[in-house]
Structure 1
């Protein structure tokens, strides 16, 4: 059977209208690629509430859901059923498909397939809250304050066991960065093909005049470390605009001084406008990849970020001793207020933003264009399809 004749299932963890981020955008791009080059895949998820909203990225397509959808608040708060999600994803029936592609940051890779089916999983991250960032999540969790830290830790212990076991069922893994590939080797003992996510760089304008404010565009969740940004800019007393929403919003707003402005309901066009005018894009979290910094570069903005994780695939740190070397940002070594404050103080004092040419930053961002992703992803799935057919 040729790949163009294969029946395809595309599985993602969940689609929530208040949480459409990088992983969902990648899933949409994979869907479009499969539609154009092969056949329209059927869509699956643990839960979804985007179908009747303005954020329905799949328009009028049917998304087949799990049993979680029938539970109270299952459509909107699927994460509340965390201990049941491994069971739920395994109940989704994809037995009639030749090719199953999962786009997974948590559970989608756990879909069960037979030896006669090829399962390729694009991994955005092994579950952060179950592995290396468990303590960060627990420190920020309200449940920890109610004496539930031990049962939560035990639930995560069991989740790690399932996460490892389910990873062994996947035929081929794609990771979104070298950092994610390293974590996959560490926690699952498996190798993966690194294919960076596609970034829609064409929609950004790098020609606007830079202004004096700093910008963050993020989900307001613990691992993004927006709390570190807030505390740092409280000390710096420099203008910071935070675009995004999430469970941390109320707490962060209470922490912030008057120099920090939060924006919630912001259109894509407005985000593009802010990115094209900011002095620099600031990023304090430990990310597996990070699409927003690429979008900032496409907008001509340098990135100031924590120098660990997936950002090392994209940000080349400015070297004052050799200004002729290409750079597109500044990296601070420690995820602390003092390190971030010192870095931005130096950036301000030396007027380092003047060292970055917006057009050069935009040119660099083209390395992560949809066209490059399409070429690499298409080549990979064709290669492994042929390998799989020969083996079977």
Structure 2
């Protein structure tokens, strides 16, 4: 039996975050796969020696460096790829990558979509994205365009989802949304992280930590408001230089320290020394809390969404609710009265290892690609 020709599709390759970690694990699992994406401006070892194909958006002035404004165009960019030479398409998507192979694919080609969430800004978080846009001068125009086109964009997204042969959800929370918005069934395979070989428990510092993209739904604003009030030390790490990042940094008190584009080693050291990792968004899953637990650091998370599937209340972390600075501060007070066992926290994280993820993906595709 010949080795299947595989294409791995992702929404874009700009910064390295949780979605890109999944891509790197897929590339390790399928080392001969080609990569297709809308635009690529990321320099990362996982891309070395790879065949990378970008869409025509990469060559369009203005939109090529403002990929968030190109959402209206991305369905067509992905549909333009000719994937007829591939046996298997694997899209890893929270946006429009699932449009790949919509028409230009072989009659026996199977499309597997690893879905991080149905497209957030069309469905579950539409109002939030509309009201907290990050386009600066273009906000008013973007809202006008989105209001006029949202019905059509949802139709395109739904149609693309119907052309996927098999959905894999990154969590039970996402699985429910796939049914709600796409009326499709899916298999849950949790994404994985690298689990340190050597236990990393050690002395904790006097600070809390938050890590992620500084975009509206990640709720860094909630962390800043909470710690401006409580006066405790907070370290915030981000790799996104957005208007929101600059706004929040300017309003942060001296107890809040911002770090921009830290290395993986520095991030791990900061996470290891933190009292707790703070996770305020309503996320479909969330890999960074698992990374924190993998090095023995407890998590304080908003008590809804994917965090309920990864954090064990009172064992590996605690939850706060509602999603307000006041609720977070109250939970921090409770957290500081509790005892935490770093080894137990780390043991729990092993359930979400890279190895388990890769084996699950391989098995699912092997069983359904026939």
Please list the CA deviations of residues 369-391 of structure 1 after superposition, one character each: whole Å capped at 9, or x if unmatched: 111112211111111013xxxxx
Q: Which deviates more from structure 2 when the two are superposed, residues 128-137 or residues 192-201?
A: 128-137
- Give unpaired runs (5+ residues) of structure 2: none
The residue correspondences of 1:49-88 to structure 2 (distance < 5 A) are: 49-50=41-42, 53=43, 55-88=44-77
User: Which residue is equivalent to 1:6?
Assistant: 4
| 1:271 aligned residue (233, 249, 267) | 267
User: Which residue is equivalent to 2:348?
Assistant: 364
| 2:188 aligned residue (186, 191, 194) | 194
User: Which residue is equivalent to 1:152?
Assistant: 146
Match of 2:7, SS state, is: strand
User: Which residue is equivalent to 1:104?
Assistant: 93
Match of 2:282, SS state, is: coil
Q: CA RMSD in A?
A: 1.7
Deviation at 1:272, TM superposition (A): 0.6
Please list the CA deviations of residues 102-122 of structure 1 after superposition, one character each: whole Å capped at 9, or x if unmatched: 111111111123432111111
User: Which residue is equivalent to 2:116?
Assistant: 124
Please list the CA deviations of residues 85-114 of structure 1 after superposition, one character each: whole Å capped at 9, or x if unmatched: 111110011011111111111111111234
Whether the 8 Å contact between 1:205 and 1:276 is mirrored in structure 2 is: no
Between the aligned partners of 1:185 and 1:341, the Cα distance in structure 2 is: 35
The residue correspondences of 1:1-392 to structure 2 (distance < 5 A) are: 2=1, 4-16=2-14, 19-35=15-31, 40-50=32-42, 53=43, 55-112=44-101, 113-141=105-133, 142=136, 146=140, 149-202=143-196, 206-246=200-240, 247=242, 248-318=244-314, 327-348=315-336, 350=337, 352=338, 355-386=339-370
Deviation at 1:150, TM superposition (A): 3.8
Deviation at 1:238, TM superposition (A): 0.5
Whether the 8 Å contact between 1:102 and 1:122 is mirrored in structure 2 is: yes
Deviation at 1:292, TM superposition (A): 0.5
Whether the 8 Å contact between 1:317 and 1:328 is mirrored in structure 2 is: yes
Distance 1:153 1:203, change over 3 A: farther
TM-score (norm 2): 0.94
Match of 2:152, SS state, is: helix
Distance 1:260 1:153, change over 3 A: same
Between the aligned partners of 2:320 and 2:173, the Cα distance in structure 1 is: 17
Deviation at 1:257, TM superposition (A): 0.9
- Give unpaired runs (5+ residues) of structure 1: 319-326, 387-392
